[in-house]
Amino acid sequence: MSRADLRTLFRSNNRELKAVDVFADREGEWAAVADSLAAVATAASAPGFDVEDLEQPRRNVLSFYGVGGIGKTTLSQQLALHLADDGEQAAQWPELDRDVGRVLPVRVDLAAQSGFDFESLILSVRLAVAELGRPMPAFDLALRRYWEHNHPGEPLEEYLRRRTLFSRLATSVSLPNQMQSALADTAQALLLPGTVGSLVGSGLRATVGALRDRREAARALAGCRRLPDLLEAEPDLDALSYYSHLLAWDLAQLKGEHRATLVVLLDTFEEIGDRTHRDLERLIQRMVWLMPGSLFVITGRNRLDWDEGRLEGQLDWVGTRHWPLLSSQTAADPRQHRVGYLSAADAERYLCHRITVDGSPLMEGATRRTVVARSHGLPLYLDLAVMRFLDLHARGHTPTSSDFSYDFPALVTRTVRDLTAGERHVLRAVSLLDSFSVALATAAAGLDRDAPALQLVDRPFIDTDDAAPWPHSLHALVRAAVQDADSAAEDRWSEDDWHRAAERAFVALGHEFAQARAAAERPRLLGCLRQGVRLARDHGLPLAWLEQAAYDYVDAMIWEPVEIPPRASGPDESAGAAESLASVLSAVARRQRQHRQITADTLSDVLTIPGLSPAVGELAEYFRAECERDLGRMEQSMAGMRRVADGGGRMAADATRGLLHLARRLGHFPDVLAAADELGSRGRRYRTLGDLWWTQGKFSLSCATYARGRDDASTAAETGEAALSQACLAFAASFGDRSRAQEQIDRSTEMLRGVTGRWADLQRRNAQLLCDAGTDADIPGRAAEIEAEALESGLSSPAAYARFIVCFHQAVRRDEAGLAAAREGLKRHIRGHEFAYLLELSYLMAPHVPADDVPRARWIDGQEETRDRWARCVDERRQEIDLLLGD
């Protein structure tokens, strides 16, 4: 079915004009999809197919890649329409083989500006499956647990209705009903009262226990052998990705008319992360692997590199052993296809059918041939040529081939020439920006009215996404050509004109940053930083507000990289300050995702740059000292912290706190207490004191102090600091009443959502480990997992705390042999006096006399009072457990 091209139709008063949104055949691409779909459907229906087999290589992914503007998104859209079987099929493509059966397509645009995350992807796929009208009991049970934990008090139905992303899907209302039906059936099969109810605490244990023990009564779900384990796992984003296995299992149980093959089309795949930060890609790849009976069609600018063994450790399954058909060496059934430029015949067909009058092409043959030759098969060129043709035609001029005798940059030149003077002025200004609003465009152009910017954003070469921080952007190819095209224009800008526009845009971004910081608008805050750093680098601007923004960035603990693309003209001395700042902020953010040594090396390189600005140097010095501390290099860390503290700059208070933090690690507790009052809010005084008090066995005081720091940070809109303080509070609380501690752990989980903080997340997990100490026999195994992850990131303290918790666990259980072994594990993290106080506490809590070779800490109230408090803590945990077992 052909659709009217409204954008073209409304550019002319000609009543005979017919504008159609034409899609080039791409017959080869469709054949690849049809073949892949048939192969997946055949394999999934074969007698030996086992959806729970996690070891077989995967052949359920198909990749199309190519340059921007080549038509990948249009291909993805047309594939979704053709597979939907709702009357929108592409006439030029043959139908699927009937043996494939029913197909359920769902298309997801992964562009960063679309606001998609992994949770949205999972919900979109589940909404598509809802069209089958059948519950997905295993998946829905797990999703219920995830939803209750991560969206407490927010009904799924209301969430779907409120989000435009989902409300457009007709099945969004039926999904909650299907889930409720599945839960009711599960409760009946498992002989539970009512529905499954709340999947936390006793409700979770009852459900999992029933699944494990009543296999005959719950035969349908009992066959899904990994369901109980997934229900018991912490319902975070990582677990949500594994729930894909449950959905695949549910789909595999469907028979007859209800059976269908799911096709997930993922567009703009290049947007989900760069090639060193693959967190979202890891979750998506896991989903693909765990759903072998579904086909995933991926479109993006880059070849899918899952077949490369060098990615081991970044993704869960890599190499040709796992993805044999993604290899470039595969000849029989390749699953990677470059989306090439249109053939001359396809381009001719496009122009013939795009705009017509009385069924005949409006563009005459000679002009079409010129446009086709100049386009080199690039669909974007053809689209711009049609727009220019209509603009000329509307003025009473009959366009001829001479109006299109230009390559792409020249076409942009002519397109720019056809704009009004005001529009041209704004276009040049916004070509300096990655994205913009009307207000930002007007400010960058130095105008006192919005009209030219409003006219410009209606032009076809402006992309619009209302969900983005700034809704408008120039197509990348147009943006790259505007400045080159400007050199030949009669009203071209001089170098000074470009510099002044960059200065105006930079100042405007500074104002927007202040507004975003005050409103805690994280996406806009990051956008200001990224665009500001690039402008400063490319145009030799002083850092100005970027220095303050950098300090605000680290205060907010956002920890998302601030990176800028390389300069087209190569390095420039004037760009050094901005590039250095970007390197520091990016390295500081990446330390949450990579080993601290990599960050320390990057910051050391920055510190060797001559003429480094004081602000950039201070930030690099401070965070290098933090990395040295995390790596267990006390002397280097202390030296760096002292340099920053003595410098008296913005980070001096942080460095003073860093020195006290190091003193606490060494067991110099009276020194920490004496100096803490001088820290103030900038030095995180309350968090420093909270860290101190739990080591002395004063857990209530520690919790109250952490809470004060958390509340102050929340009032100041410092989300990252508030979440960090709450993680510390949860840890201190977990030495006491377990039910109250669980409340604090749950609150920590909620506050850490959307905050990238590796240390805080590990501390929250340590809190849960501590809360379970004395009750879970697998505490040593769980501690080993936390220890390994901490060491993988170069974080020494969470690893030491995990081993200390094992000592606490064995002391509660009165297991002397286990306690001795736990101490040996803790000793691996003790370097001289660093963390020796934890080893001493492992004796005091028993209570035992510390061995002679254990370094002694300086306790605030002396060793005896400290021993009494810790021994009492262990006794109270024993009594709580005895009471629980007695019930």
Q: What is the pTM of this model?
A: 0.56
Of 121, 100, 124, 75, residue with least CA distance to 297: 75
Q: Taking the alpha carbons of 76, 82, 87, 92 in that order, is the dihedral positive or negative?
A: positive
**How many beta carbons lie within 10 A of that of residue 680, not counting itself?**
12
Query: What is the tens place of the pLDDT at every residue in 87-97?
Result: 556 566 888 88
Average pLDDT over residues 642-669: 90
CA-to-CA separations, 270 to 30, 273, 464, 524, 777, in angstroms, rounded? 22, 7, 19, 21, 44
* β-strand pairing of 295-300 with 61-65: parallel
Of 267, 281, 266, 249, residue with least CA distance to 129: 249
CA-to-CA separations, 160 to 142, 143, 167, 753, in angstroms, rounded? 18, 14, 6, 20
**How many beta carbons lie within 10 A of that of residue 330, not counting itself?**
15
Please provide the average confidence, as pLDDT, over all residues in the chain. 83
Q: Which amino acid is at 858?
A: R
pLDDT at 202: 52
List strand residue ranges (DSSP E) for 246-379, in order. Answer: 261-267, 295-300, 336-338, 355-357, 360-361
pLDDT band at 535 (very low <50, low <70, confident <90, very high): very high
pLDDT at 1: 36
pLDDT at 372: 87
**How many beta carbons lie within 10 A of that of residue 77, not counting itself?**
17
Write the DSSP string, 516-534.
HHHHT-HHHHHHHHHHHHH
Of 264, 310, 268, residue with least CA distance to 288: 264
pLDDT at 531: 92
Residue the block writes with tokens 């070849």: 303
Query: What is the tens place of the pLDDT at every residue in 209-252?
Result: 666 665 454 556 767 888 888 988 899 999 999 999 999 999 99
pLDDT at 264: 96
Of the ranges 18-22, 306-310, 395-399, 841-845, the best mean pLDDT one: 841-845
Q: What's the token pair of residue 189? A: 């099969």
How much of the chain exceeds pLDDT 90, in percent? Answer: 41
**Count, residues in the chain:** 887
Asked if residues 352 and 345 have their Cβ atoms less than 8 Å apart, the reply is no
Of 211 and 13, the structure prediction assigns the larger pLDDT to 211
Average pLDDT over residues 262-274: 83
Average pLDDT over residues 370-389: 80
Residue 170 has pLDDT above 50, yes or no: no
pLDDT at 276: 46
- CA distance linking residue 463 with residue 774, whole number of Å: 58
pLDDT band at 2 (very low <50, low <70, confident <90, very high): very low
Query: What is the tens place of the pLDDT at every residue in 798-813?
Result: 999 999 999 999 999 9
Query: What is the tens place of the pLDDT at every residue in 620-655?
Result: 999 999 899 888 888 899 999 999 999 999 888 889
Query: What is the tens place of the pLDDT at every residue in 27-58?
Result: 778 888 999 999 999 999 999 899 999 999 99
Q: Taking the alpha carbons of 51, 53, 54, 58 in that order, is the dihedral positive or negative?
A: negative
pLDDT at 453: 94
Asked if residues 195 and 180 have their Cβ atoms less than 8 Å apart, the reply is yes
Asked if residues 60 and 288 have their Cβ atoms less than 8 Å apart, the reply is yes
Residue 172 has pLDDT above 50, yes or no: no
Burial of 377 (0-12, 13-18, 19+ CB in 10 A): middle
Asked if residues 210 and 191 have their Cβ atoms less than 8 Å apart, the reply is yes
Element (H, E) at 64: strand 61-65
pLDDT band at 777 (very low <50, low <70, confident <90, very high): very high
Query: What is the tens place of the pLDDT at every residue in 565-615?
Result: 766 544 444 457 888 888 888 888 877 777 889 989 989 998 988 878 898
pLDDT band at 24 (very low <50, low <70, confident <90, very high): low
Query: What is the tens place of the pLDDT at every residue in 137-157?
Result: 899 989 988 998 888 888 888
